[in-house]
């Protein structure tokens, strides 16, 4: 079998990585994908680094054994704690991570004030401190942990009064800042972007890392001559670790998030 037709694996703690998968499918409609949501262990962002690293390795090794041509960690938290170690152990493999989209956000105006919303674990890790250092001269950056928000998205509650009240209280300290931009540093958050926007103000620009990650994935596949050169539309298989023996069990959940067309 030629390696080009093998699927690209896309991994997250749950449904959040679908925000990245949608960009990947838009950019590479002829590719086959396996989406793995580790909902049995979500949320990752309040676990220890060691635990999330182990979970990420275990998913990677399972998917690698089944045959994949690239692994996209569509999870900022798992990327923070595991991408370097995975690349070190598997230097020949294509392993793509995601990071909070500070790079485009700091360009939104002259020395902007930018809040980075992410999980507690992402913000605690050295990878994030290094990212902050890279941009400290270009912007005032406010790291802001959002524990509890992932759970809303996991249960499909992406709008409504309860979510609005939760965000209103959570993001209250940010309303005192003169924010120019917000970076959604967790792949679950784009699903609640309009609620976030209505709380922090429609004039604040919002950035996320999904397009950058998809572009990076395509570039790596191109460089390695691994794009699928068929004219046929690719397939997406969804695997949910809460239902390990069934494929596509997350489908009904994904339909809510606009994933419907991915399955057609
Ligand atoms: N979606 C993941 C991220 O980008 C983490 C969510 C979780 O806490 O499980 O960080």
Q: Is the distance from CB of 77 to CB of 108 less than 8 angstroms? A: no
Per the structure, the count of domains in the chain is 2
Q: What is the mean pLDDT of residues 69-83?
A: 98
Regarding whether 192 and 114 lie in a shared domain, the answer is: yes
pLDDT tens digit string along 93-123? Answer: 999 999 999 999 999 999 999 999 999 999 9
pTM: 0.93
Q: Which atom of ligand 1 is nearest to the CA of 44?
A: 9
**CATH code for position 219:** 3.40.50.1860
pLDDT over threshold 90, residue 124:
yes
Q: What is the pLDDT of residue 231?
A: 87
pLDDT tens digit string along 202-249? Answer: 999 999 999 999 999 999 999 999 999 888 899 999 999 988 666 554
Residues with CB under 6 A from ligand 1: 12-14, 16, 42-45, 75-77, 119, 122, 150, 186-188
Ligand 1 centre and the CA of 98: distance in Å? 11
Regarding whether 126 and 44 lie in a shared domain, the answer is: no
**Residue that is last in its domain, among 208, 224, 248:** 208
Domain that holds residue 146: 102-208
Instruction: Compute the distance between CA of residue 200 and CA of residue 189 in angstroms, rounded to an integer.
Output: 14
Ligand 1, atom 2: closest residue by C-alpha:
75
Q: Which atom of ligand 1 is nearest to the CA of 118?
A: 10
Closest CA to 96 of 5, 18, 212: 212
Element (H, E) at 34: strand 33-37
Regarding whether 226 and 154 lie in a shared domain, the answer is: no
Regarding whether 86 and 13 lie in a shared domain, the answer is: yes
Regarding whether 222 and 190 lie in a shared domain, the answer is: no
Regarding whether 171 and 122 lie in a shared domain, the answer is: yes
Ligand 1 centre and the CA of 18: distance in Å? 12
Q: Average pLDDT, whole number, for the chain?
A: 92
Regarding whether 194 and 141 lie in a shared domain, the answer is: yes
Rg (CA), the chain: 18
Q: Which atom of ligand 1 is nearest to the CA of 78?
A: 10
Regarding whether 65 and 20 lie in a shared domain, the answer is: yes
């Amino acid at each position: 079998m030629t390696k080009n037709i093998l699927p690209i694996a896309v991994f997250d703690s749950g449904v959040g990585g679908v925000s990245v998968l949608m960009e990947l499918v838009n950019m590479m409609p002829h590719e086959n994908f396996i989406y793995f949501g580790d909902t049995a262990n979500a949320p990752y962002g309040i676990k220890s680094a060691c635990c999330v690293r182990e979970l990420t390795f275990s998913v990677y090794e399972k998917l690698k054994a089944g045959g994949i041509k690239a692994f996209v960690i569509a999870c900022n938290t798992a990327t923070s704690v595991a991408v370097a170690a995975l690349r070190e152990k598997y230097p020949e493999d294509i392993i793509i991570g995601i990071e909070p989209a500070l790079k485009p956000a700091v360009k939104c105006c002259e020395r902007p004030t930018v809040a980075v919303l992410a999980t507690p674990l992402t913000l605690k890790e050295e990878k994030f401190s290094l990212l902050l250092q890279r941009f400290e001269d270009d912007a005032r950056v406010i790291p802001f942990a959002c524990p509890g928000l992932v759970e809303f998205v996991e249960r499909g509650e992406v709008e409504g009064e309860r979510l609005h009240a939760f965000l209103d209280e959570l993001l209250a300290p940010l309303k005192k800042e003169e924010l120019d931009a917000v970076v959604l540093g967790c792949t679950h958050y784009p699903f609640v972007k309009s609620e976030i926007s209505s709380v922090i103000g429609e004039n604040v620009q919002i950035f996320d890392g999904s397009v950058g990650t998809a572009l990076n994935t395509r570039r790596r596949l191109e460089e390695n001559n691994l794009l699928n050169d068929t004219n046929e539309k690719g397939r997406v298989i969804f695997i949910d670790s809460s239902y390990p023996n069934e494929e596509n069990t997350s489908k009904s959940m994904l339909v809510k998030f606009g994933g419907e067309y991915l399955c057609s």
